[in-house]
Amino acid sequence: MTTPADTSGAGMPAGSVPLTSVPQDAPVDRATAAARRVVEALLLTDRANANLERVAEELNGIAEHLEQHAPAVRDRMVDMWGGEGVTRHDPVTGLENAIALPLIVYGLPDGSVRGETTVTIPYQGPPGCVHGGVSALLLDHTLGVANMWAGRDGMTAQLNVRYHRPTPLFEPLQINGRQESVDGRKIRTTGDIRTAEGEVCVSVEGLFVDKKVPRPR
Ligand SMILES: CCCCCCCCCC(=O)SCCNC(=O)CCNC(=O)[C@H](O)C(C)(C)COP(=O)(O)OP(=O)(O)OC[C@H]1O[C@@H](n2cnc3c(N)ncnc32)[C@H](O)[C@@H]1OP(=O)(O)O
């Protein structure tokens, strides 16, 4: 994605706080942003005129450099789950994950959460529209963050997704989540994706069960 994440919290109610990573001026953030730019440019470039042989060679060279410096996956996972944890690496908000939009999710004073993003070509489903699986991914994760914000979280047991209208690419979208109730270990959480005009494109009802998978150590 080439749309930079909005870290200002502009448009969020006063008192909102970021619950997921915000960009740092770190080489890994810049490298990941460049990788997102490459993904989008590869989709958009003119197949006949761009020198894709050279591109393939240079990208493979970059991958070889990164792989030469990669520790064992298990050690990397211990590292990932320490410190700031998943929010820098997950596939929705992770600033170190080139497939993440990335989205920044804010906790609002009313107990709900919200993120704003513009989705572009790599996540296209129907022509000019967001892929339905990507919408479900965005909402599953946002509901998980809503549960964290509400103080009781768990694993997704069910996600009931309703697609009301096509979700447009290239337009600002609001991703909302709110924990509705807790009943023993069962947590019910809802959310939606809206256009800037407030039209609901996708809504979800999630059932989460309070269960933790241990962090790698
Ligand atoms: C800031 C960082 C934020 C990070 C956010 C990350 C969000 C990401 C969210 C995810 O992607 S989680 C990954 C996707 N989910 C999974 O992989 C879950 C896989 N399934 C399981 O691990 C288990 O099936 C599950 C934890 C959901 C439930 O197993 P348990 O053995 O712990 O539950 P148990 O069978 O004891 O059931 C507890 C209650 O939940 C109910 N239940 C369990 N699974 C259900 C289900 N699928 N549908 C309906 N009800 C269900 C069950 O009937 C029962 O109800 P009662 O208490 O009333 O008897």
Q: What is the pLDDT of residue 9?
A: 79
Q: What percent of the chain has pLDDT over 70?
A: 95
Q: What is the pLDDT of residue 8?
A: 63
Ligand 1 contacts CB of residue 144 (under 6 A): yes
Contacts of residue 164, defined as CB under 8 A and 6 or more positions apart, other chains included, come to 200, 201, 202, 203
Q: To test the ligand 1 pocket, which listed residue (138, 153, 155) has its Cβ within 8 A of the most ligand atoms?
A: 155
Contact at 8 Å (CB) between 169 and 121? yes
Q: What is the pLDDT of residue 85?
A: 64
pLDDT tens for 76-104 read: 999 998 876 668 999 999 999 999 998 99
Ligand 1 contacts CB of residue 164 (under 6 A): no
CATH number assigned to the domain with residue range 17-209, chosen from the 4 options 3.30.1360.170, 3.40.50.720, 2.60.120.380, 3.10.129.10: 3.10.129.10
Report the nearest atom of ligand 1 relative to the CA of 20: 1
- Among the listed residues 208, 6, 183, 31, the one whose alpha carbon sits nearest the alpha carbon of residue 102: 6
pLDDT tens for 144-201 read: 999 999 999 999 999 999 999 999 999 999 999 999 999 999 999 999 999 999 999 9
Q: State ipTM.
A: 0.97
Ligand 1 contacts CB of residue 158 (under 6 A): yes
User: With 60 as the cut, is the pLDDT of residue 5 above it?
Assistant: no
Q: To test the ligand 1 pocket, which listed residue (22, 86, 209) has its Cβ within 8 A of the most ligand atoms?
A: 209
- Among the listed residues 12, 8, 40, the one whose alpha carbon sits nearest the alpha carbon of residue 170: 40
Q: 91 vs 25, 52, 100, 140, 168, CA distance in Å?
A: 20, 27, 4, 11, 20
- The alpha-carbon radius of gyration of the chain (Å, integer) is 18
Q: What is the pLDDT of residue 1?
A: 42
Contact at 8 Å (CB) between 19 and 145? yes
User: With 50 as the cut, is the pLDDT of residue 2 above it?
Assistant: no
Ligand 1 contacts CB of residue 211 (under 6 A): yes
What values do phi and psi take at 92, rounded to 5? -115, -50
Ligand 1 contacts CB of residue 185 (under 6 A): yes
User: With 70 as the cut, is the pLDDT of residue 216 above it?
Assistant: yes
Average pLDDT, the chain: 94
Q: How many CB atoms lie within 10 A of CB 210?
A: 14
Ligand 1 contacts CB of residue 136 (under 6 A): no
Ligand 1 contacts CB of residue 121 (under 6 A): no
Kindly state the helix (H) or strand (E) to which residue 149 belongs, with its residue range: helix 132-150
Q: What is the pLDDT of residue 10?
A: 79
Ligand 1 contacts CB of residue 148 (under 6 A): yes
Q: Give DSSP secondary structure letters for 53-104.
A: HHHHHHHHHHHHHHHHT---HHHHHHHHTSTTGGGGTSTTT-TT-TTS----
Report the nearest atom of ligand 1 relative to the CA of 85: 2
In this structure, the residue with its CA closest to atom 23 of ligand 1 is 157
Q: What is the pLDDT of residue 86?
A: 67
Q: What is the pLDDT of residue 99?
A: 96
Domain boundaries, the chain: 17-209
